[in-house]
Chains A and B, each alone.
Chain A
């Protein structure tokens, strides 16, 4: 469904990603692991063309997408739940969610989808009039995820959804992620540092180090692999 063919990305003259290739098949959950500064967010920004790639190719459903402007991606059914949530802080929760459905032409679809995400996160329904910037961290993350779901995306990219959240909320959020896949047959690209949980819910994983993919495989195998256990699972 999504394929990166040896992409190289730069911030100015500094190269950040080196020949990164990865593939995500329809219906899969794929996780990217890596320590701080490994380049995970840069991979995502490259996919979304927020960081135009220096070389390489990116395909989505057979179509080359590395040259199309970022605002058109959502029309292909790709949605991003970004690092640090990036809610519109001075807008209400409701307006944030409605903005997530910005490309939807049909009012009925918009209100159906609003109802659906509010069902997934009843907390947001209670707080729908509150300004997003005043939500708690966990609520903000729920709001960011709900906003990302508003178009019922076919492919959804999460950048560290569990960052800074209490374990209970992390479990809740991962549970909802798996539920979304099963209900909607969405495809998920998940960036995480919480390796244990991420590998448990995903099908395959890639390990990124200093901008290079150093390891890839089925999540089950990665969980068993000694390198991963040592570097990411603290075993």
Chain B
């Protein structure tokens, strides 16, 4: 049972340094590394990368996160277990892990079909089906003289849950 969790935001430049330091402090258990598309961090299109490191007896653990555009230094030499996670993050979120096994010539897609050119978990990657399919929830019952409902002319436009607003403008 993990007894304590610490969340820590680090600068991308300190990513490797901080992780190396934690490893030396006994946080040798690499649990996972993943991305979270925060879409908008202080007005910029950013992706968060999170890593979870714990002490081997799970008595203490750290979640480190950082905001990047599309590049971050790889930690696979410090934490070999991060290889698969960085690769997944690279394919799904389009983040290049510099100096890692998921960058450079070995970047053959393992999870993503060649036909998919964009990273599917970034919100800038529009799911055409969600844009082209009319959303049945857009209709709003409204009263007209004849009692029939008409579109949703006057009310604020309803948006389908989970679909970024800017997709629909395109």
Physical interaction between A and B: no
Task: List A residues at the B interface (Cβ < 8 Å).
Answer: none
